[in-house]
C-alpha cells in the first residue's frame, strides 16, 4: 500500500491527473490510497509551490512542466519504481553498446509497446582489473565513461520511443550472465531480449552471453539476430518434441499468440523417442479451439537447419522453442542444439523454460 497526498484545486486537469495515476496503479496491481488536500493554507504549510502536486513520505513531485502528460508520466514512473513496477511485464534489454545490442533494443521498444510494461535497459560493466593482495582494483575513470554511455543511450531512447513505454536504466558492475539473470527472477513477469552475433562470432559479448542466458534463465529469452527489424508477428512456429514440457509452457506461449492474434504452427520434431502426433493435435485443438493452428512434422540430420528452412518457406515471424532448466545442459533436441540455434537463427527466436530443474 502506498499512501499519497494530492495537493490542488479540483479542476479538469486535476481530476485528469488523479484518474490517470489511479488507473496506472490499478493496472500494475499496486494498492494506492490518495488523500486530497484542497486548502490553500495547507499548501503554504507544506511548502507546496506549484499545483497539482503529489507527496509520498517526504518526497514531493510538483507540476512544473508545460505538458500535463509529461507530469503524469513522471508521477507514474515514480510510483511504479517504489513498488518495483508491481505486476507489469518487464522487458530486460542487456546492452554492450554494439550495433547488435542497439538493434535488439530497437526491436524491444516495439515489442514493449505491444506487450505493455517497463523496458529495463541494463549494462553490466565488467572492468579491466588487477589483483593486488587479493584485492580487485577497478579503473573508475573507465567506469564513468560507460555510465555516461548508458545515460546517453537512455536519453536517446526516451526521445525516440512512442509514448506509453516506461524506461529504466540499470548500471551494474559484475559478471554479465549472473547479473542479467538477477533481474529476471520472476519467470511469469519478465522477458529478456538480446542480440546474437551469429555463429562465426562466438566470443563476442552478444554471442557467448546470449547463449549462456538461454541455457540458464528461468524466464523467456528472445534472441534477435543481426539486422532483423521488428514487424507485426502474424505467424509463430513452436518446435515440439516433449509433450510433458509442451503442457508446462503452453499457457505462456498462447498468451503471446492470442495477444498478437497470430497463426500458430506446431512443428513436430521427429526422433527415436517421438510420440504420436495425433495426440499432440488432440491436446492443442481441445485446449485452444479458437486459435488458428497448423501442424507439420520435420526430420533430418541437422534439425536446426530443417527448422530454419521450414521457417523461411512459411514466412514465420517468430520461432519458439522450449527447454528445461537442468544442472547439466542437455537441451530439447540434442546436446547444444538450442545453443547452436542461438547463433544460427535468421529470425527472432523465443526460448521458453520449464521452471522445474532436473538432474541429468
- Domain ranges (residues) in the chain: 2-82, 90-224, 235-358
What is the structure's pLDDT at 200? 46
3-state secondary structure of 56: strand
What is the structure's pLDDT at 7? 93
**pTM (2 d.p.):** 0.80
Phi, psi of 11, deg, nearest 5: -105, 175
Q: Which three cell numbers stand for residue 341?
A: 540455434
Can you name the residues that pair with 7 across neighbouring β-strands?
A: 37, 53
d(CA 147, CA 125): 9
CB 288 within 8 A of CB 262: no
Can you name the residues that pair with 62 across neighbouring β-strands?
A: 53
Phi, psi of 232, deg, nearest 5: -50, 135
Over residues 206-239, the pLDDT tens digits come to: 667 888 888 888 888 999 998 888 888 899 998 8
Q: Which three cell numbers stand for residue 7?
A: 495537493
d(CA 329, CA 217): 12
CB 204 within 8 A of CB 197: yes
d(CA 248, CA 168): 31
Looking at domain 90-224, its CATH class is alpha beta
| C-alpha to C-alpha distances, 205 to 125, 199, 271, 283, nearest whole angstrom | 11, 13, 33, 40
d(CA 221, CA 184): 10
Find all residues with CB under 8 Å of 52, minimum gap 6, and list them: 6, 7, 8, 13, 14, 17, 18, 63
d(CA 109, CA 103): 10
The domain over range 2-82 is classified in CATH as 3.40.30.10:
yes
CB 58 within 8 A of CB 30: no
Q: Which three cell numbers stand for residue 285?
A: 485443438
Q: Which three cell numbers stand for residue 203?
A: 566470443
- Provide the CATH topology of domain 235-358: Rossmann fold (3.40.50)
Residue (of 126, 307, 94, 327) closest to 191 by Cα position: 94
- pLDDT tens digits, the chain, 360 residues: what are they? 899 999 999 998 899 999 999 999 998 899 999 999 999 999 999 999 888 999 999 999 988 766 888 888 889 889 988 888 888 888 999 999 999 999 999 999 888 877 777 888 999 988 765 555 556 566 678 889 999 999 999 888 877 665 567 888 899 988 888 888 887 775 567 889 999 865 544 445 566 788 888 888 888 899 999 888 888 889 999 888 777 777 777 777 887 787 778 888 888 877 655 556 677 788 778 887 777 788 888 876 777 788 888 889 999 999 998 876 554 444 444 445 667 777 778 899 998 877 544 333
Q: How many other CB atoms are found less than 10 A from the CB of residue 195?
A: 30
d(CA 342, CA 293): 25
Over residues 242-293, the pLDDT tens digits come to: 777 777 777 778 877 877 788 888 888 776 555 566 777 887 788 877 777 8
Q: CA geometry: angle at 253 spanning 185 and 232, to 5°?
A: 105
- Domain pair 2-82 / 90-224, same fold: no
Amino acid at each position: 500500500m502506498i499512501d499519497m497526498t494530492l495537493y490542488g484545486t479540483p479542476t479538469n486537469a486535476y481530476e485528469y491527473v488523479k484518474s490517470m495515476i489511479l488507473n496506472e496503479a490499478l493496472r500494475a496491481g499496486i494498492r494506492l490510497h490518495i488523500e486530497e488536500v484542497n486548502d490553500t493554507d495547507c499548501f503554504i504549510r507544506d511548502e507546496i509551490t506549484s499545483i497539482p502536486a503529489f507527496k509520498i513520505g517526504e518526497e514531493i513531485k510538483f507540476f512544473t512542466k508545460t505538458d500535463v502528460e509529461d507530469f503524469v508520466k513522471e508521477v507514474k514512473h515514480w510510483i511504479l519504481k517504489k513498488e518495483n513496477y508491481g505486476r507489469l511485464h518487464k522487458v530486460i534489454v542487456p546492452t554492450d553498446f554494439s550495433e547488435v545490442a542497439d538493434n535488439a533494443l530497437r526491436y524491444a521498444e516495439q515489442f514493449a509497446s505491444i506487450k505493455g510494461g517497463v523496458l529495463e535497459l541494463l549494462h553490466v560493466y565488467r572492468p579491466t582489473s588487477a589483483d593486488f593482495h587479493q584485492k580487485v582494483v577497478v579503473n573508475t575513470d573507465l567506469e564513468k565513461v560507460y555510465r555516461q554511455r548508458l545515460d546517453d543511450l537512455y536519453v536517446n531512447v526516451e526521445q525516440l520511443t512512442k509514448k506509453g513505454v516506461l524506461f529504466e536504466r540499470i548500471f551494474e558492475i559484475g559478471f554479465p550472465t549472473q547479473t542479467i539473470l538477477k533481474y529476471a527472477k520472476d519467470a511469469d513477469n519478465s522477458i529478456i531480449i538480446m542480440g546474437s552475433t551469429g555463429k562465426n562470432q562466438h566470443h563476442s559479448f552478444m554471442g557467448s552471453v546470449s547463449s549462456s542466458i538461454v541455457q540458464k534463465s528461468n524466464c523467456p529469452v528472445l534472441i534477435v539476430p543481426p539486422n532483423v527489424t521488428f514487424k507485426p508477428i502474424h505467424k509463430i512456429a513452436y518446435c515440439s518434441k516433449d509433450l510433458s514440457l509442451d503442457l508446462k509452457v503452453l499457457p505462456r506461449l498462447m498468451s503471446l499468440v492470442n495477444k498478437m492474434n497470430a497463426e500458430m504452427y506446431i512443428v513436430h520434431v521427429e526422433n527415436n523417442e517421438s510420440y504420436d502426433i495425433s495426440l499432440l493435435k488432440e491436446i492443442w485443438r481441445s485446449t485452444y479451439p479458437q486459435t488458428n493452428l497448423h501442424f507439420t512434422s520435420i526430420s533430418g540430420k541437422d534439425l536446426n537447419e530443417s527448422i530454419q528452412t521450414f521457417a523461411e518457406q512459411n514466412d514465420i515471424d517468430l520461432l519458439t522453442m522450449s527447454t528445461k532448466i537442468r544442472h547439466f545442459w542437455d537441451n530439447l533436441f540434442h546436446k547444444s542444439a538450442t545453443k547452436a540455434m542461438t547463433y544460427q537463427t535468421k529470425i527472432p527466436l523465443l526460448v521458453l523454460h520449464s521452471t522445474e530443474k532436473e538432474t541429468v
